[in-house]
Amino acid sequence: MEQQQETVLAFKGLTRRFGGVVALNEFDMELTNGQIVGLIGPNGSGKTTSFNVLTGIYEANGGSIEFLGQDITSWPAQKVYEAGVARTFQRSRLCLELSIFDNIMIGAHKRLNHGFMFNVFKRKALQQQIKENYDEARKLLTIFDPELADKMFEPVGSLRMIDRRRIEICRALISHPRLLLLDEPSAGMTHEETRELMDDILEVREMIDGLSIILVEHEMGMIERVTDKCIVLNFGQKICEGAYREVASNKLVQEAYLGGE
Amino acid sequence: MTQSLKDKLIILLLAALGAAFLVTFIAIEEQAEIFALLVFAGVLIIASAKLGLTDKISQSLSRNERLLNLSSIAAMLVVIFWFHEDHFPLLMIATVLLYVVACCGLNMQFGYTGVVNFAGAAFFGVGCYTAAVLGGTGTPLLLVIALGGVMAAIVGSILIIPVLRTRGHYAAVVTIAFGLLFRTFLEVNDTLGGPQGLPVSGMNLFGWDFNSNIQITENIEFSFYMNYVILALIMVILTFILMRRIERSWIGLNFDAVRLDETAAACYGINIKRWKILSFTLGNFLAGIAGALFAMMLGFIAPSNFAFSDSLILVSIVLLGGMGSIWGTILAAGLVVLLPEKLQVIQEYRFLLYAVVMILILLFRPQGVLPRNLRSYIPGWRG
Amino acid sequence: MDMGLLGQFIVNGMMLGMMYALVAVGFTLFFGVLDVIKFSHGDVLMVGTFAGFSTYLGLGAIGIDNAFVQLVGVLVVAIASMALLGAIIARYLVLPLKSAPPLNTLLVTLMLGTVLREAIRLFYPDGSNPKRFPALLPTDSWTIGSFNLRADSVILLVGGLLVIVGVHVLINRTRLGMAIRAVAQDEETAKCMGINFKMIVLLTFGLGSAVAAFAGVMNGLYYNEINFGMGLLLGVIGFSAAIIGGLGNIYGAILGGFIFAALQTLGAVALPFASAYKDVFAFAVVIALIAWRPTGLIAEKTSERV
């Protein structure tokens, strides 16, 4: 870690309950500038829940979330996004009826002018903004796949799974986030595709200075290759934290995986 | 012949054909002839679909939007002037046009943001009653129309909290309940005429009396309905432009995102409430302005015009044309309004018939007759 | 307030509550097994009532004029035919749209409601006018002070209660009920356990519609008048009652029915210009309640995964 050790995100005692089930129990974690953290653990251990609490979809029942020095614990999803957090979803949540361009532009929301007058009456200025954003979206998508960048006006529903994942990641990146949350990007893809996607993610990190990533993943090869640090959750509790190698040899972790499922 | 010239010819030909069809369809009275004409049109459409012509034509159309829009207006004007002295055909045409405006409003709600509204007839009715109440007060015509829309939007705002807090089935029942409430209220409220309704006095625009025939020369006299038809056509054009511009802007994108996935939209900063309120209010406004002019044109309104089944007819038009499709709405409004007027056999059975057709559409062609296309922000521009 | 009037309000409110509860139970059953709202439910009720009414006319025509036999005939025909109609609707309209957007199911059933309404209006002899439903129950009454308790009211309330108890027993004590609950809980698992999903859906829709038919006949017997539009109002109110109780929860639906009737009765008592605005008030209550508690007083099971 040669970059300065600025803390980007900190969970302190983060807790979320669903009825009697404690999905997230006193979860503490910290993430510094440019770091990639892997969040692993058996199914239902609270990985996605922590994303949902962080992005304001669920409210926290206890604890706090600090992002870039601000307490964002009970912020609504919109405000969290404005602050610089972008995410993908476990089950891809693109708008399948809309074109690739449309989907990526949803990610660019905070940079677009949404005023009624601007959109309805200032058509020239609007079209200028559309074209500028088109160029940027195209540049970004070209990093992932130049062929895909030629299909900007085709519906997302007609694409393969890996392409949909790429678009989802582009939708997140176009907002210039400081923190990117990737929820099981390898789900539903082959080994080969997962490798390709991983390369893309590493390339993107090289390109965007100071982008931190939290990666939820079951695919251990991916975790090993891309993360700086791993956090293992089980039944909503952090049971281990450290570099992948340390974590993988930890007894508790092995029990959680072997005994838990 | 170059492709672009070919496209232009196709569009002009289509517009001419459309005008000719409409004129014939509206002019003939003999039921057998009407039936034959419809069968002929149906066969023509099916045949061209089978020959792959429809795809080619739709490509030509999408390449020349401006010409398509202009020639459609021209075709409409031809039809209108053809019937310049006939009251009833003009009344029918104006009714279709006003239904287009109201259904565009519903389309903004259903088709763009996915906000359901089964009280369309009620908001149309608010516009009607506004016109009736303002009728005798000397308020200028255009202001009455605008106020009809504003009133509908204001009445709609009563429903905003329930509509924002609910989705799908719940929102549906809220609007259904409102539609029933509205009609029951009108029936028991004596100030607004009770079940007998209210007369709506004629209007004038800058001293121009809308309810008397127009003497052009000694031999040419325009029906007074011409006033309404032309005004309705202008309203359709403005509504069309508004719908198109909204669709082809970030607002349209936000609308779609809200409809398709609220959770993902929220995670990308889209303020769900803001866009739902905008589309709901604008939609009701459009229904209201259509209603205001409709009431003035008919000269008389009663609660029975705003029943739940009328709301369902409006929804049927949106659905039949295709959710979010403006041209679809125009076509469907024409079919739904004109068919029962021309084919007397179905007049009595129209609610039943439409409901059955809607069930078939939902089961077998849920995208509607003219499905909405992917958004192209700038016509002809693809990066 | 006068005792007699108060008693009258209470009996009337109970009767309304019972009918709303019966309709709401149907909505909640359908939502439980399939997560859909069948908006034609109220109109199924209306068709059931007309089926019962026709049976009465038919029995009269062949010379059977014993009120008890007529009543049994009316009930059997109404309930059986609506159970069948409910299953047919589920089979041909609701199940085929299972994977379509929920809005489509909503629209299809709304349109079906129109079809049923219009079919009765157009094709039932003189269908557009209200029909006089016969009083098939004993007309005795007991006078308690100034309050006049009618026997038919008591019988109807007891009958409604028996139907509710019957549904309760069916859902909780039988194999069929267990299967319905299993499907409501988790469709996939239920299928894995060898439950015939489709059959359960059809049976549930049949059951819900049969209960609605009973409520319709009850309505006819109590008010002695039926018309083609009666289902719309009962459907909307029944659905609201189901929502108040939390969709998918049978006891919630029953509770919701009575709460709604209580509010309506209170409204009628409290508002000075009562009777004319009775329905306006009822609809306003529907809107307000849904705005206040969109998922019901007893929370609905949530299924959305993020």
Identify all chain B residues contacting A78, using CB atoms and an 8 Å cutoff: 266, 269-271
Instruction: Summarize pLDDT for C32-77 with one digit per residue, the tens.
Output: 888 788 889 999 999 999 999 999 999 989 888 888 899 999 999 9
Q: Cβ of A52 and C306 within 8 Å?
A: yes
From the list B110, B168, B315, the residue facing C102 with the nearest CB is B168
Q: Which chains touch B (3 or more CB pairs under 8 A)?
A: A, C
Instruction: Summarize pLDDT for A175-216 with one digit per residue, the tens.
Output: 999 999 999 888 888 888 888 888 888 888 888 878 899 999
Distance from CA of A221 to the nearest CA of C (A): 25
C130 and C223 Cβ atoms separated by less than 8 Å: no
A107 has a chain B CB within 8 A of its CB: yes
pTM value is 0.90
Residue with tokens 């002929």: B40
| Cross-strand pairs, A36 | A213
- Mean residue pLDDT across chain A: 88
From the list B249, B256, B269, the residue facing A119 with the nearest CB is B249
Looking at residue B351, its pLDDT comes to 87
Q: What six digits make up the tokens of B52?
A: 């792959």
Identify all chain C residues contacting A91, using CB atoms and an 8 Å cutoff: 305
- d(C-alpha C237, C-alpha C283), whole Å: 8
Quick one: pLDDT band at residue C306, thresholds 50, 70, 90?
A: very low
- Chain B residue nearest residue C99, CA to CA: B363
Please give the distance of CA C59 from its chain centroid, rounded to a whole number. Answer: 25
- Mean residue pLDDT across chain C: 86
From the list B245, B249, B253, the residue facing A106 with the nearest CB is B253
Q: Which chains touch C (3 or more CB pairs under 8 A)?
A: A, B
Interface of B with C in 123-162 (CB under 8 A): 159, 161-162
Looking at residue B208, its pLDDT comes to 66
**Between B252 and C174, where is the model more confident?**
B252
Q: What tens-digit pLDDT sequence spans chain B (383 residues)?
A: 688 888 889 899 999 999 999 999 999 888 889 989 999 999 998 998 888 888 888 888 888 888 999 999 999 999 999 998 888 999 999 999 999 999 999 999 999 999 999 999 999 999 999 999 998 787 888 899 999 999 999 999 989 888 888 777 788 888 988 998 999 899 888 888 888 888 887 766 666 677 777 777 777 778 888 889 999 999 999 999 999 999 999 999 999 999 999 999 999 999 999 999 999 999 999 999 999 999 999 988 999 889 888 998 999 999 999 999 999 999 999 999 998 888 887 888 888 988 998 899 889 988 888 889 888 888 878 77
Q: Cβ of C240 and B349 within 8 Å?
A: no
B159 and B225 Cβ atoms separated by less than 8 Å: no
Instruction: Summarize pLDDT for C84-101 with one digit per residue, the tens.
Output: 999 999 999 999 988 888
pLDDT at C102 over 60: yes
- For chain B, the domains span 1-82, 85-364
From the list B181, B362, B363, the residue facing C283 with the nearest CB is B181
A175 has a chain B CB within 8 A of its CB: yes
Amino acid in the structure at residue B225: Y
Amino acid in the structure at residue C233: L
DSSP H helices in chain C:
3-34, 41-61, 67-89, 102-123, 151-173, 175-185, 187-192, 197-223, 230-244, 250-270, 278-292
Quick one: pLDDT band at residue C212, thresholds 50, 70, 90?
A: very high
- Chain A residue nearest residue B263, CA to CA: A57
DSSP state of B111: I
Looking at residue B204, its pLDDT comes to 64
Look at B325-334, C204-213, C258-267 and tell me which has the smallest mean pLDDT.
C258-267
- For chain A, the domains span 1-84+178-261, 94-175
From the list C106, C112, C280, the residue facing B184 with the nearest CB is C280
Domain B85-364: give its CATH code.
Answer: 1.10.3470
pLDDT at C301 over 50: no
| Cross-strand pairs, A37 | A214, A229
pLDDT at A246 over 90: no
pLDDT at A249 over 50: yes
Looking at residue C296, its pLDDT comes to 64
Quick one: pLDDT band at residue C299, thresholds 50, 70, 90?
A: low
Q: What six digits make up the tokens of B85?
A: 């002295």
Identify all chain A residues contacting B269, using CB atoms and an 8 Å cutoff: 78, 81-82, 109-110, 175
Looking at residue A258, its pLDDT comes to 64
User: Mind giving me the DSSP string for B319-336?
Assistant: HHH-TT-HHHHHHHHHHH
Q: Cβ of C305 and A91 within 8 Å?
A: yes
Residue B153 buriedness (CB in 10 A; 0-12 / 13-18 / 19+):
buried
Q: Would you identify the CATH topology of the domain C3-128+151-292? A: ABC transporter involved in vitamin B12 uptake, BtuC (1.10.3470)
pLDDT at C305 over 60: no
Size of the A and B interface in Cβ pairs below 8 Å: 101
Look at A71-85, B334-348, C129-143, C277-291 and tell me which has the smallest mean pLDDT.
C277-291
Q: Pick from A75, A111, A114 the residue to mutate for testing the B interface (most B CBs within 10 Å).
A: A114
For A1-84+178-261, CATH number out of 1.10.540.10, 3.40.50.300, 2.160.10.10, 3.30.390.30 equals 3.40.50.300
Q: Give the CA angle between residues C184, C187, C190 to the nearest 5°.
A: 95
Its ipTM equals: 0.91
Looking at residue A123, its pLDDT comes to 92
pLDDT at C302 over 60: no
C303 has a chain A CB within 8 A of its CB: no
Looking at residue B97, its pLDDT comes to 97
Q: Could you give the 3-state DSSP secondary structure of residue B301?
A: strand
Q: What six digits make up the tokens of C157?
A: 């309330």
- d(C-alpha B129, C-alpha B125), whole Å: 6
Q: Could you give the 3-state DSSP secondary structure of residue B93?
A: helix
- Chain A residue nearest residue C302, CA to CA: A18
User: Mind giving me the DSSP string for B267-287?
Assistant: HTT--HHHHHHHHHHHHHHHH
| pLDDT (average), residues A4-9 | 82
Quick one: pLDDT band at residue A1, thresholds 50, 70, 90?
A: very low
At residue A101, what are phi and psi to the nearest 5 degrees?
A: -60, -45
Identify all chain A residues contacting B378, using CB atoms and an 8 Å cutoff: 127, 130-131
- d(C-alpha A233, C-alpha A146), whole Å: 37
Q: Could you give the 3-state DSSP secondary structure of residue C131?
A: strand
Residue with tokens 């870690």: A1
From the list B165, B188, B355, the residue facing C114 with the nearest CB is B355
Residue with tokens 């956090």: A231
Q: Which chains touch A (3 or more CB pairs under 8 A)?
A: B, C
Q: Pick from C103, C304, C306 the residue to mutate for testing the A interface (most A CBs within 10 Å).
A: C306
Looking at residue B157, its pLDDT comes to 93
Looking at residue B268, its pLDDT comes to 95
Q: What six digits make up the tokens of A12?
A: 């302190």
Looking at residue C90, its pLDDT comes to 93
Looking at residue B65, its pLDDT comes to 86
